[in-house]
Amino acid sequence: MRSYCAFFLLFSGALFSVLGKPILQLQEDGTFQQHGLSVLVFNNAYPIGHQGGIEIIQHDRRVATNGNVWLEPTPGQWDAVAENSDPVLDISKNCITVAGEHKEAEIKYTLRVEAQNSQIQIRLDLNGPLPEAWNGKAGFQMELFPGLLFGQSWHMDGQSGIFPCQANGPVTRYGESVVPQPLAEGKMLTIASENPECRMTIECPNGSLQLIDGRIPDDNGWFVVRSLIPFNRSKNAVSWIICPHVIEGWLSQPKILHSQVGYHPNQSKRILFELDKNDPGETLAVLTRVNPDGTETIVRSDLPVLWGNYLRYQYRVLDITDIIQTGIYRVQYGAETSSLFRIHPKVYQRDVWQPTLETFFPVQMCHMRVRDRFRIWHDACHMDDALQAPVDHQHFDGYRQGSTADTPFDPGEHIPGLNQGGWHDAGDYDLAAGSQINTVMMLALIREQFYVNTDQTLIDHKRRMVVMHQPDGMPDIVQQIKQGVLQILSGFQAAGHCFPGIIAATITQYVHLGESAAMTDNRIFTGGALKKLPGWLPGTMDDRWVFTNRSTALNFAAARALAAASRVLRVVDDSLATVCLETALQTWAEEVTREPVEHRSAYVPRNYQAEEILATIELFLTTQDKAFLLHLKDRIPIIEEQIKYVGWSLCRLLPFIEDQDLHKRICQFILQLPDPDLTDSPFGVTGRFYIWGVAWQIQQQAVGQYFLHQAFPDRFSVDFIYNAVHYVLGCHPASSTSLVSGVGSHSLTTAYGVNRADWSYIPGGSVSGPALIRPDFPELKEPWPFLWQQTEYVMGGAASYIFCVLAADQLLNM
């Protein structure tokens, strides 16, 4: 908890200097505030994601972050991070102190952050002398966001330059690492003097500053301002004075928030306006319809109605639900003009979910050569998958191998049959079983609920070939389900259970961007258990590792996905469907009769009780075997306990339950679930911000809401589903950008995909969207492809997005 030394202030609101100008005032939420400027002091604790330490938000743009003591000049994702205490606030002195420690370096320190007028004064005190080993290495530093600085100037003690778009040399050795030489060194740095919106000075009165381009060692690095900690001074070891410029009378730019695709005539249509809290809201919003002859017809001109405050903004609403004429529309609000959007009964039926299934899914397919007309997205990759991971090993990306392998293979031994199926999970190339399972499950639900039958892609698993825009007579969604199933089954076929995942063994390989087939040599390693061979030679042990521990929850999850997939595959690949169902039945029978095993590892579910119920439901729906209903009846107490996780799926079971008591009790449990509170936010959704954006959670909640509504239409509304679609397609905080690349008038076309080094995108990829910079700043940095917590693609999010759009279209056109 934060500590407070709060005293009664004689004046409310902002403090004022003798000249009457507002100054930074410390608030009880641990931030310094002046209109147009916020200074955050350890409100956020995600430094590897450039979200932590001392941060500066200037004119609604987070320009600096991670102000803290660091051991590296350009720290990367896996470098040492200090442990910091909760900030201690002294409101009477307008200052915050934070203790910190680098345990491995034996460095303890205190940071004191004080606001004087509009200056930020930072003082670093060490608890003792700097260890000699860290002389010339440890420093206090802060990161500057590159995306705002490209083409802007910097000045330092008579030196000057322009922030470059790409990382340039020269570089030098720093131990075993390579780091860029500073762009400049001096006592005072002026940033973007020509731009009043991001002008700032940083001064080090008792030392010197270095300006470093942190993108040389890591693509996702930022510019760094650094002061080395002197070896011979503990008290006031480093002192900085930061002066961000604040435009007098500044108000945040109004944002018009709407679906970038548009609306069905019969649905609620609310245009939102995100405004500065000090904005009087006296501007007319003008809705126009764009005509074929180039003219525009004014359809509505009105003052948006105040919704209220949410996070740091004021929101107003223009309700255009009564506008039902089909056409192309846009909204003007003062100097701001929205993107174009449609009103049409078929608004969701073309160019909305299709790019996700027809482009994003094929691009992500592992072990396949993927061609798109003249372009090869990637060749058949990772054909040497995979080696048994070593025991007692914690992988740097969260995977963990326990004290046993749970397979007949030795560490470093090739496990055959793993080089088939699966999707590169996200902005990297690993095959995470939890993600594969959830994606297969969602695709099966889509196929069954909405009868998706499109065929736009040639997928030949035997030849390991994918060709986009070439129909092959087979529904694309069924072929994608097969792609996921092949990977899920591979663990069962090798060792009788689902493997948690396959991933690169080293950081050097893991951060690989570009041609996925170049990540390994695609030749199976046969050199023996974990024998080291010279790198980058044919037959080198560069094969990925597979993590193999058995998990009860993961096996149940795999069983439900395989059972659902078997229903879909039956009409096109009877033999594979049979393997799926037999594997699911055997797995379920084994897991319900033995003690649960929890394995904590990345992407492995932990709630085995909920997974057991979900698997049982799918197996009944597949086999119609009433033994599964009897099993559920025996698990009634667990069902009640887990109802918020399994209620949506139980709704699909209700028409088949003849046991009136069981039917009644399940209905009672489901009806205790709350309908989403549409007034929780101006967007009509209930997602809770954490570190990542919340679009995927909102989509997942909307999927559940669909099945709840299907079973109990008078109890569970459909509006949350429509609002979820609107949120993803642009009606969210921070901007009105569609969170699905290439979908809508304005979408995210620079994202954290495997082609992020090219500042590009994959059509149909779905991102999590605006993240919350605590306590109240929603942020979506664009264009910027290197913040995974905002713009990374993942498979599960893509699949649930397709479901939500098809659900909205179905419900609106019934």
pLDDT score at 278: 96
Has residue 808 got a pLDDT over 80? yes
Is the confidence at residue 548, as pLDDT, over 80?
Answer: yes
Question: Quick one: pLDDT at residue 179?
Answer: 81
Percent of the chain with pLDDT over 90: 91
Q: Which long-range contacts link 230-235 to residues 24+ away (Cβ below 8 Å)? A: 230/130, 231/129, 231/130, 231/132, 231/135, 231/136, 232/129, 234/125, 234/126, 234/127, 234/128, 234/129, 234/130, 235/125, 235/126
pLDDT digits (tens, 9 = 90+) for 57-103: 999 999 999 999 999 999 988 999 999 999 999 999 999 999 999 99
Strands (E), 71-106: 83-84, 88-90, 95-102
**686 or 284, greater pLDDT:** 284
pLDDT, tens digit, 9 for 90 and up, residues 592-631:
999 999 999 988 999 999 999 999 999 999 999 999 999 9
Q: How would you classify residue 499: left for phi > 0, otherwise alpha for psi between -120 and 50, otherwise beta?
A: beta
Tokens of 550: 């058995």
**541 pLDDT band (50/70/90 cuts)?**
confident
What pLDDT, on the 0 to 100 scale, is given for residue 21?
53
Q: What residues contact 743, with CB distance under 8 A and at least 6 apart?
A: 260, 261, 351, 352, 355, 356, 729, 763, 764
Mean pLDDT of the chain: 94
Q: Can you tell me whether residue 24 is helix, strand or coil?
A: coil
Least confident span in 118-122, 171-175, 451-455, 528-532: 528-532
259, amino acid identity: S
Confidence of residue 3 (pLDDT cuts 50, 70, 90): very low
Q: What whole-number distance in Å separates Cα of residue 338 and Cα of residue 500? A: 45
Per-residue confidence band for 539, with pLDDT thresholds at 50, 70 and 90: low
Q: How would residue 217 be classed by pLDDT, with cut points 50, 70 and 90?
A: confident
CA 801 – CA 648 distance, rounded (Å): 17
3-class DSSP assignment, residue 320? coil
| Torsion angle in degrees (nearest 10) through CA of 722, 723, 729, 735 | 170
Contact in structure between 14 and 22 (CB atoms under 8 Å): yes
Tokens of 84: 């910091």
Distance separating alpha carbons of residues 383 and 420, to the nearest angstrom = 8
Give the amino acid at 612. Answer: E
State the Cα–Cα distance between residues 287 and 614, nearest whole angstrom: 47
Express as a percent the part of the chain with pLDDT over 70. Answer: 96
How far is C-alpha 146 from the geometric centre of its chain's CA atoms?
Answer: 20
Name the amino acid, one letter, at 721. Answer: I
Residue 535 has pLDDT above 60, yes or no: no
DSSP 390-442: PSSEE-TTS-EE-SS-SSSPPTT-B-TT-SS--B--SSS--EEHHHHHHHHHH
- The SS3 call for residue 14 is coil
pLDDT at 4: 37
User: How many residues appear in the chain?
Assistant: 814
pLDDT at 10: 32
Q: Kindly report the backbone phi and psi dihedral angles of residue 660, in degrees, each rounded to the nearest multiple of 5, phi listed first.
A: -65, -35
Q: Which pair of tokens denotes residue 619? A: 């197996």
Strand 139-144 with 153-156, pairing: unpaired
Rg for the chain, CA atoms, rounded: 28
Under 8 Å between Cβ of 430 and 423: no
**Residue 232 burial by Cβ neighbours in a 10 Å radius (0-12, 13-18, 19+):** exposed
Copy the structure tokens of residue 653: 């079971």
Q: What digits encode the pLDDT tens for the residues 664-722? A: 999 999 999 999 999 999 999 986 788 899 999 999 999 999 999 999 999 999 999 99
- The answer to whether residues 412 and 405 touch, using CB atoms and an 8 Å cutoff, is no
Q: What is the pLDDT of residue 174?
A: 72
Residue 7 pLDDT exceeds 80 = no
The pLDDT of 759-771, averaged and rounded, is 97
Strands (E), 430-576: 431-432, 457-460, 465-468, 501-503, 545-547
Q: Do the Cβ atoms of 242 and 200 come closer than 8 Å? A: yes
- How high is the pLDDT of residue 176? 75
Instruction: State the residue for tokens 């902002």.
Output: 14
